[in-house]
Structure 1
Amino acid sequence: MKSTTRGTLAAVVTGVAAAVGAAATPAAAVGTVPVPVPLEGVSRSLHMEVPEAGLEVPLLSPGAPEGPRFVTGRLLPDRTLPQVPLNGALPGAHLRAPLPHVLGDGFDHVGFDAPASDLHALAPGLAVDAPLTRPRGDNFGLPDLKLPQAGVIAPVLRTVPAADLVMGPGL
């Protein structure tokens, strides 16, 4: 292989690796997308102070479900329909509004900050068992009848939301 071919191949491989790394990093690092609410035009057209607002929209990412497990004594595996984990964030909000002084000129502000908080959830699952037992040797290899079993695995939701309400001088 010529040295120019090797150099070209090395440059292509390096470029592809850099592109894949750059594309994967922001998606993995960001759990929410900030969405500013543009109110500057309203402020300019009305010649007055208006609230500032910003939102955070979550990005949900599904995880890999835990597969069915074999349980001794059952014909069908446990967790026939497994629970799917979802990771993301609760939506966040950042609001700040001016509070004019009743007497005199000037403004104070009131602010509400509810940052996006981590959210871990599991979708509901299903556990069922057939109305037959496993084949038995003392019954010539035939299964016995039993009552069918069905159960819903409850969904799980874990998060710790937080919020701050602030009042202070100035804008």
Structure 2
Amino acid sequence: MKSTTRGTIAAVITGVAAAVGAATPAAAVDTVPVPVPLEGVENSLGMQLPKLGAELPLLTPGAPEGPQYVEGRLIPERVLPQVPIGGALPGAGLRTPLPHLLGDDFDHVGVEAPASDLRTLAPGLTVDAPLTAPNPDNFGLPDTKLPQVGLLAPVLQTVPGADLVTGPGL
């Protein structure tokens, strides 16, 4: 997806979230708050409904490390480089009315799972040819050797968290 398309989609989602009345600002990570509007249903049914919202991440690809040339190899390491991608895990929030089941001071129960930073590296590939560098003892011709192929493992780093709360008011 082109960066202009991604920027346009992010602007539209941000505009919709602002028009619906997103009261909470985006988290420190690159996320877009998305509230679920249930006020119309509350008015038509005449009762309190849960408050629901989410945070959608905006993934940002980074610049991959280029191939690394190593002495004695014909093909550089990391032929297919690992691409770093930064963003966030999606966040969610839910608060629902609780009709004094736990006592007079407890009117709601809620779960908050804020967006958390996410760092990833895509898998990569390293390959070596079945030939060595030119050998002066062999009239400048390369020697043969076993070909080598290696897979660079993907990386995923994050620290998710969540809170369960109860208290007065909704």
TM-score where L is the length of structure 2: 0.79
Say whether the 8 Å CA contact 2:84–2:119 is kept in structure 1. yes
Structure 1 residues 165 and 88, CA, compared in 2 at 3 Å: closer, same or farther? same
Q: Distance in 1 between matches of 2:115 and 2:123?
A: 24
Distance change (3 Å), C-alpha of 1:145 and 1:89: same
Structure 1 segments of 4+ aligned residues over 3 angstroms from their partners: 102-107
Alignment of 1:10-89 (within 5 A): 31-89=30-88
Q: Give the alignment's TM-score, normalised by structure 1.
A: 0.79
Query: How much has 1:74 moved relative to structure 2?
Result: 1.2
Give the letter for the 2:52 counterpart: A
Task: Provide the C-alpha distance between the structure 1 equivalents of 2:103 and 2:126, rounded to a whole number of angstroms.
Answer: 69
C-alpha displacement of 1:70: 0.7
CA shift digits 1:23-76 (9 cap, x unpaired): 9xx9xx860011010011111111111000110000000000000001122111
Distance 1:91 1:104 in 2: 33
Structure having the larger proportion of residues in helix: 1
Larger radius of gyration: 1
Name 2:91's counterpart in structure 1: 92
Identity %, equivalent residues: 73
Unaligned runs of 5+ in 2: 1-10, 15-27
Q: Residue in 2 aligned with 1:154? A: 153
- What is the CA-CA distance between 1:103 and the residue it aligns to? 10
Pick closer, same or farther for the CA change 1:94–1:64 going to 2, 3 Å: same
Residue 88 of structure 1 and its aligned partner are, at CA, apart by: 0.5
Is the contact between residue 100 and residue 106 of structure 1 (CA under 8 Å) also seen in structure 2? no
Q: Is the 8 A contact 1:98 1:107 kept in 2?
A: no
